[in-house]
Amino acid sequence: MEFTGAQALVKSLEMQEVEVVFGLPGGAILPVYDPIIDSPIRHILVRHEQGAGHMAEGYAQATGRPGVAMVTSGPAATNIVTPLADAYMDSIPLVCITGQVSTSAIGTDAFQETDTTGITLGVTKHNWLVTDAADIPQVVREAFHIATTGRPGPVLIDFPKDIANSTMEWYWPDGVDLPGYHPASQPDPAAIREAAALVLAAERPVIYAGGGILKSRAAAALRELADLTGIPVVTTLMARGAFPDSHPLCLGMPGMHGNYTAVTAMQKADLLIALGSRFDDRVTGKVSAFAPRAKVIHVDIDKAEIGKVRRPEVGIHADCRLATEALVEAVKASGPVETGRLVPWIAMIRRWQAEYPCTYDRSEPANDKAATGGGGRRPTVKPQFVIETLRSLTPPDTILVSGVGQHQMWASQYWSFEYPNTWVNSGGLGTMGFAVPAAIGAKVGRPDRMVWAVDGDGCFQMTAQELATATAEGVPVKIAILNNAYLGMVRQWQHMFYEERYSEVYLSPDLPDYVGWAESMGCIGLRVENTEEVAPAIEKANEIDDRPVVIDFRTDSMEQVFPMVPAGASNDDIVVYQSQPGADRGARQ
Amino acid sequence: MAYGPRHRLLSVLVENKAGVLARVAGLFSRRGYNIYSLAVAPTDNERFSRISIVVDVESSPLEQVVAQLDKLINVVEIGELHPDQAREAELLLVSVSADAGQRSQVIELVGVFGGRIVDVAHDAITVMVAGAPEVIDDFEDLMRPYGIAGLQRTGRIALPKLDGRLSSMPAAPAAGIA
């Protein structure tokens, strides 16, 4: 059957069982938007191309399936570079289709022409410029294969307008033809045996679980490994939810803003079992001082991660789930597991947990005008209290989405994650503005779940135009703005490391009027200024299911994120509480 | 351009597709790896090209360079060639100032190195020499006193030795590339 290139592209997406495309049309991609009308694929019309990319990311993180975004050439393509970079850092499977000027015009500085494959070379796992309509089914099949296998990631197909308008004889390829692409799968049995021996001999072991657990669907295998061996688990920012926070062996998040026990357990460990984690600088702090006495087992599907930062005693280049399952089997094969040797280690961990819990000063701040930037009464609501209350009033499988900054760290610290794929955030790239569109994408993918975004006032202003998309498309997300009137994390660093010289961080709590903003976009807008209003507002929001809700929580702007390991310092120098004597120690170092 | 201890030679088989060289070069650039020399051309199978890259491993370990290169979808195979296990060659074109009085000296040296004269003018000649990179270095040094007007080297290319079958082959081929 003869298809146009545009028809072949849409048909190929259908063959890949794509159920939704996030996008915005324009000149070069116009031919593809015609067959979209007749396709069963749902199209969600965004207000800005960055929104399309982050929605596709939120969809992918919540569902485990690839997200698809489609935009036109030139400025649309450059607008989606940020989500591509974000997805590349966090290994999120994304297929992005960009329109391109006709092949005859490429290289002539044509209207809305950019070198999209060139620009995105460094932020995609792979990309293609289609130069023949007959290649379309093959390219689409390869694109989804590459995006979703091995270490997942974003791919981009650049699609010239004349190719979309030319014709081809439809076919669907049997498979892919990629002689240079062989993602790892099964672990080396000898390496697994070595790893098992280390696991069984260790006296102070810690499982260092990363995002690879979620990508490889290894949460059940991880739980079995922990239960079998009695080894405690830290879950990185990208792995929150991969192991239930309520499990007695869960130590929570390690790293720069990790809790004392998670950070210190890694520092004192004699064995780190790194499963799908990459020794990110936010986890290790000063690398030379990180877990100095630990041997390392490092499982990763990406060979380049093994030994990139820390040379492991045992490197296992394999799928994280298959390797974890093999490790469980190897430990079982060695006979009954003796966990008595871990008793002193677990006891030490329990002491740390009791002595240094993740907590904050719940007392309400005095109304000193100096602390408000001259803005009148100082808000008294503690941001951490908002997260705790939100957690207690929402279903356990609620999907929590966040932007980047203080609110993100509080969300990760004070939310209790019980299920995989219930935490959607921008970890590696740290993209402000991620939350609103990512929450919309997550809700589109999981309409059965309650989806809450915890956002900062700075982040919210970057992408909140997508609330119009949410209302128009009937996507009832809920947004909690922790409005402290500041670029809070930057303010915190200026407080700690720049002698409280605040430079360009004050935003104002009232500009914009967040309630007015919400209402103008067809959402319900609520404002909370006192602690006692927090729970009723959340309950009210939870009852609204026919449109998005935005709550403007006026929070204490002086609140800072602790614990904190100052950038570049050793994890041994963790500062636990804001009120702790020497909490500004980082500033003097 | 003979290389020192911080240089390693990679032979990279890639799919012969548009933009592959940009992917390889872009990877080196964004990860902060240094390329000392690079040569690329199709192989006997037109589906593939071979890139010979001399990498500076001072800044980053070779194992990391190889692992990152291997992630490029179009990279099919990567081998490291140790100098004692490889046949290496490089091609040099050089234009040398040589008047009638000096010309015979230059021609004599070209003969010693198995090179060829490819262009002659009243006061200069252009010669081509192929051989092991160290030999090319020597030839370049010998030409320098005459005055070099233009010089282009290809960067080294290499293939693994054939398991001793040609172990008697001289390190520097006597003949130039015909």
**Predicted local distance difference test score (pLDDT) of residue B177:** 37
The one catalytic residue among A111, A329, A519, A540? A111
Which chain B residue has its CA at the smallest distance from A152's CA?
Answer: B71
Which CATH fold would you assign to the domain B87-160? Alpha-Beta Plaits (3.30.70)
**B70 and A CB contact within 8 Å:** yes
Choose, from A112, A353, A465, A578, the residue flagged as catalytic: A112
Task: Give the residue range(s) of CATH 3.30.70.260 domains in chain B.
Answer: 7-81
Q: Give the chain A residue whose CA is nearest to the CA of B74.
A: A180
* Cβ(A454)–Cβ(A422) below 8 Å: no
Under the banding of pLDDT at 50, 70 and 90, the label for residue A587 is very low
- Residue B13 Cα, gap to closest chain A Cα (Å): 9
A168 is catalytic: no
Q: Where in chain A is the domain with CATH 3.40.50.970?
A: 2-169, 369-561
Checking phi first, is residue A208 left (phi over 0); if not, alpha (psi -120 to 50) or beta? beta
How many Cβ atoms sit within 10 Å of the Cβ of residue B18?
A: 10
For residue A470, is pLDDT > 70?
yes
* Cα-based angle B131, B35, B51 (whole degrees, multiple of 5): 60
The whole-number pLDDT of residue B159 equals: 87
In angstroms, rounded to a whole number, what is the distance separating the alpha carbons of residues A456 and A387?
13
**B22/A121 CB distance under 8 A:** yes
Q: Is the pLDDT of residue B166 over 90?
A: no
> Scanning every residue of chain B, which has its alpha carbon at the shortest distance from the alpha carbon of A130?
B18
- The pLDDT confidence band at residue A376, using thresholds 50, 70 and 90, is low
pTM above threshold 0.90:
yes
Mean pLDDT of A239-268: 97
Residue-wise pLDDT for B56-109, tens only, equals 888 788 999 999 999 999 999 999 988 788 888 999 999 999 988 899 999 999
User: Is residue A49 annotated as a catalytic residue, yes or no?
Assistant: yes
Average pLDDT, chain A: 95
- Residue A45 class from Cβ within 10 Å (0-12 exposed, 13-18 middle, 19+ buried)? middle
pLDDT recorded at residue B167: 43
Residues A408-443: tens digit of each pLDDT? 999 999 999 999 999 999 999 999 999 999 999 999
Query: pLDDT tens across A491-523, in order?
Result: 999 999 999 999 999 999 999 999 999 999 999
Kindly provide the residue ranges of all beta strands, DSSP E only, lying in A349-492, ordered along the sequence.
399-402, 423-424, 451-456, 478-483
- Nearest residue to A557 via CA among A518, A508, A519: A508
pLDDT value for B86:
86
pLDDT at A586 over 70: no
How far is the C-alpha of A303 from the C-alpha of B171, rounded, in Å? 36
pLDDT band at B172 (very low <50, low <70, confident <90, very high): very low
Domain with CATH 3.40.50.1220 in chain A: 189-355
Beta carbons within 10 angstroms of residue A110's beta carbon: 16
pLDDT for A101-149, tens place per residue?
A: 999 999 999 999 999 999 999 999 999 999 999 999 999 999 999 999 9
CATH topology of domain B7-81: Alpha-Beta Plaits (3.30.70)
Closest by Cβ to B73, choosing from A131, A146, A304 = A146
3-state secondary structure B11-49: EEEEECCCCHHHHHHHHHHHCCCEEEEEEEEECCCCCEE
- Highest-scoring range by mean pLDDT, A359-368, A421-430, A580-589: A421-430
Q: How far apart are CA B135 and CA B1, in angstroms?
A: 9
Q: Do B64 and A304 touch (CB under 8 A)?
A: yes
Structural tokens at position A559: 């609140």
Residues of chain A contacting residue B74, judged by C-beta atoms under 8 Å apart: 180
Chain segment A381-394, per-residue pLDDT in tens: 999 999 999 999 99
CATH number of A189-355: 3.40.50.1220
- Please indicate whether residue A138 is annotated as part of the active site: no
Distance of residue B16 Cα from the nearest chain A Cα, in angstroms: 12
Q: Do the beta carbons of residue A24 and residue A45 sit within 8 Å?
A: yes
Interface test with B, best of A303, A309, A311, A317 (most B CBs within 10 A): A303
What percent of chain A clears pLDDT 90, i.e. is strictly above it?
93
Rounded to whole angstroms, how far apart are CA atoms A215 and A152? 8
Q: What is the pLDDT of residues A1-39, one digit of tens each?
A: 999 999 999 999 999 999 999 999 999 999 999 999 999
| Banded pLDDT at B168 (limits 50, 70, 90) | very low
Residue that is written with structure tokens 């159920």 in the block: A19
Checking DSSP bridges between strand A205-209 and strand A233-235, what pairing results, if any?
parallel
* Least confident span in A369-378, A405-414, A475-484: A369-378
Give the least confident one: A78-92, A148-162, A370-384, A386-400.
Answer: A370-384
**Res B164 pLDDT > 90:** no
Residue A588: the pLDDT is 39
Alpha carbon distance A87, A453 (integer Å): 18
- Torsions phi, psi of A48, nearest 5? -155, 140
Q: Domain spanning A369-561: which superfamily?
A: Thiamin diphosphate (ThDP)-binding fold, Pyr/PP domains (3.40.50.970)
Instruction: Kindly report each contact of residues A33-37 with a partner whose C-beta sits within 8 Å and lies 24 or more positions away, as own/partner.
Output: A34/A6, A35/A4, A35/A6, A35/A7, A35/A10, A35/A11, A36/A10
Cβ pair A299, A207 in contact under 8 A: no
Question: CA A568, CA A318: separation in Å to the nearest integer?
Answer: 31
Burial degree of B42 (CB within 10 A; 0-12, 13-18, 19+) = exposed
Residue of B nearest to A143 (CA): B73
Backbone dihedral angles phi then psi of residue B34, each to the nearest 5 degrees = -105, 130
Confidence band, pLDDT 50/70/90 cuts, at residue A581: low
Q: Which two tokens stand for residue B128?
A: 């081509």
Q: Which has more confidence, A330 or A374?
A: A330
Is A290 known to be catalytic?
no
Query: Is the pLDDT at A403 greater than 80, yes or no?
Result: yes
What are the start and end residues of each CATH 3.30.70.1150 domain in chain B? Answer: 87-160
Respond yes or no on whether ipTM tops 0.95: no
SS3 of chain A: helix, strand, coil, percent, to 5 = 40, 15, 40
Active site residue A489: yes
pLDDT at B170: 42
Domain A2-169 classified CATH 3.30.420.40?
no
**Residue of A89, A253, A256, A489 marked active site:** A489
In tens, the pLDDT along A180-239 reads 999 989 999 999 999 999 999 999 999 999 999 999 999 999 999 999 999 999 999 999
Q: For helices A435-445 and A49-63, what crossing angle results, to 10°? A: 50
What residues 5-44 of chain B have any CB closer than 8 A to a CB of chain A? Answer: 14-15, 18-19, 22-23, 26, 30
